[in-house]
Copies of this chain bind each other. A is one copy, B any other.
Amino acid sequence: MALIVQKYGGSSVADAERIKNVARQVAETKEKGNQVVVVVSAMGDTTDELIKLACQISEQPGERELDVLLSTGEVISSTLLAMALGSLGYKAISLSGVQAGIFTDASYSRARILHVAPKRIVDELDKGNIVIVAGFQGVTEGMDITTLGRGGSDTTAVALAASLGAQVCQIYTDVDGVYTADPHLVSEACKMREIGYEEMLELATYGAKVIHPRAVELGELYNIPILVASSFTDTPGTIIHGGISMEVRSKVRGIAHDLDVAKITVVGVPDQPGIAAAIFEPLARANISVDSIVQNASVNNITDLTFTVARSDLAKALSLIEPMAKSIGARECLGDSTLAKVSIVGTGMQNTPGYAARMFRALYEQKINIQLITTSEIRITCIIAESRVEDAVRALHRAFELEKAQV
């Protein structure tokens, strides 16, 4: 008897009919002789509506209270799914994050899971129940409700799969797998049958929306295979795991793109120790994530420092950076929010030269200007004008012959 953890996203449980569909799918998994734990998100727009309600009450709702408020969305969908299974004749029980034993730190709105104490889940499974867990939430040691922030329900599912020793964690969503590029942009994009954790982590971090990087990271850490598939179709999805066959490794696997990019350049920075810290510390204190930091070689001990932030953070970041830049003698601060990232990802790149050159040539042939380049061992990212993203993704997909990828 295998234990399977399934997760259904907000669009999969958006109304009563869809919840009944999910119930049938869960029941099928149970009928095959499995123990089943299901993690659900809040129905459709529930979370947005609750946030709207909070904003009617207070311009800056307290974050502890906001977390309790938002956590009700997933509790509601979990009870409804349990009822739907009950009316199909299955024993099912809903558990909140507290009841499921998901303990987190006290960072409201972006809590990290510290440990899972799944005794109640195990007891209910032993009684023959299908266990429905409200995703996206946990509880502190002091018994306060927290929410996990972005990718929360995916993370709940993988964390439960890890702590229960599940055979697989199945993430059901509104897309049917991981593609070599966004199929909305590239009609020849191919669905991958499988992909390694590292590659998926890079793709997800650099713009692929199908699963949150946090959940992938956790899957890799505990070696839990993660299936990404559609709850609306029966087509097979993509399995994310560690044991990828050798041939598949020798390639660029996919193209990611991300429009949520803004660039800040501090021009004319004196090249001396402590300057970078002086610039980035205020951003860290304001909880603004910075990525793709580039510092040019200095001329006459003067250099330029460029980095990217999420677009929604641009204004705040500039307001923090500008006085700092002035005080250290920099010439000016420039912000630009008309940019995008395109990335190629593949473990095959690791020891093989020529991938960067091929990428740059493909962009050059489209007359796409590259503003910034960053790399990891298995990824190359170029920052380009937002208006050229489609052309860039298509050109790269062709250049690396991804239309010939396995389906």
Binding site for B on A (CB under 8 A): 16, 19-20, 50, 53-54, 56-62, 64-66, 68-69, 72, 75-76, 78-80, 82-84, 86-87, 93-94, 96, 98-99, 120, 143-145
**A76-B72 contact, Cβ under 8 Å, with A57-B20, A94-B65:** yes
Closest beta carbon of chain B to A113's beta carbon, Å: 20
A86 in contact with B98 (CB, 8 Å): no
**Which chain B residues border A99 with CB–CB below 8 Å?**
143-144
**Residues of chain B lying within 8 A (CB to CB) of residue A58:** 83-84, 86-87
- In whole Å, how far is A143's beta carbon from the nearest beta carbon of chain B? 6
Chain B residues in 8 Å Cβ range of A145: 96
**Residues of chain B lying within 8 A (CB to CB) of residue A87:** 57-61
A80 CB contact (under 8 Å) in B57, B79, B80: B57
9 smallest beta-carbon distances between A and B, as pairs: A16-B56, A58-B87, A69-B79, A72-B72, A61-B83, A65-B79, A58-B83, A62-B86, A65-B82
* Cβ contact within 8 Å between B57 and A68: no
Cβ of A76 to closest chain B Cβ, rounded Å: 6
For the complex formed, measure the closest distance between the CB of A400 and the CB atoms of chain B, giving whole angstroms: 47
Residue of B nearest to A19 (CB): B57
Complex Cα–Cα for A62 and B81 (A): 11
- Chain B residues within 8 Å of A84, by CB: 57-58
- Known pairs A68-B94, A72-B75, A120-B143; list 15 more (Cβ under 8 Å): A16-B57, A20-B57, A53-B76, A57-B80, A57-B83, A59-B87, A60-B87, A62-B86, A65-B80, A65-B94, A66-B79, A69-B75, A69-B76, A96-B145, A98-B143
- Is A69 in contact with B65, judged by CB distance below 8 angstroms? no
> In whole angstroms, how far apart are the Cα atoms of A41 and B306 in the complex?
53
Contact residue among B54, B78, B86, B93 (Cβ-Cβ distance under 8 Å from A83): B54
Nearest CB to that of A52 among chain B residues? B16
Q: Which of B68, B72, B76, B86 contacts A61 (CB 8 A)?
A: B86
* Identity of the chain B residue whose Cβ is nearest the Cβ of A17 in the assembled complex: B56
Q: Which residues of B contact A75 (CB under 8 A)?
A: 68-69, 72
